[in-house]
Amino acid sequence: MRCKGDLEAEEDAEQTCALGADDVWVEIDVRVTNVDGNDVEFEFKAADAPLDGEPDY
């Protein structure tokens, strides 16, 4: 998994990331849903189509 920059551990923070497996990459949006001390919960939303190769981030 690769992300554009660092995801801040604040509720409702959002970031675009890419998840890869078997040479197929899918871009996903990551949103922080809950922060409790060092525990951070995320929600993922997949993009509609796979990326064309590896992301440049």
pLDDT average, residue stretch 12-25? 86
Q: What is the pLDDT of residue 47?
A: 66
Q: Is the pLDDT of residue 44 over 80?
A: yes
Neighbouring C-beta atoms of residue 25, cutoff 10 Å: 19
pLDDT average, residue stretch 10-15? 85
**CA-based nearest residue to 55, from 18, 7, 16:** 18
Hey, what are 20's tokens?
């890869």
Q: What is the pLDDT of residue 23?
A: 84
The domain limits of the chain are 2-50
Neighbouring C-beta atoms of residue 18, cutoff 10 Å: 19
Predicted confidence band at 48 (pLDDT cuts at 50, 70, 90)? low
Angular region, 33: left φ>0, alpha ψ -120 to 50, beta rest: alpha
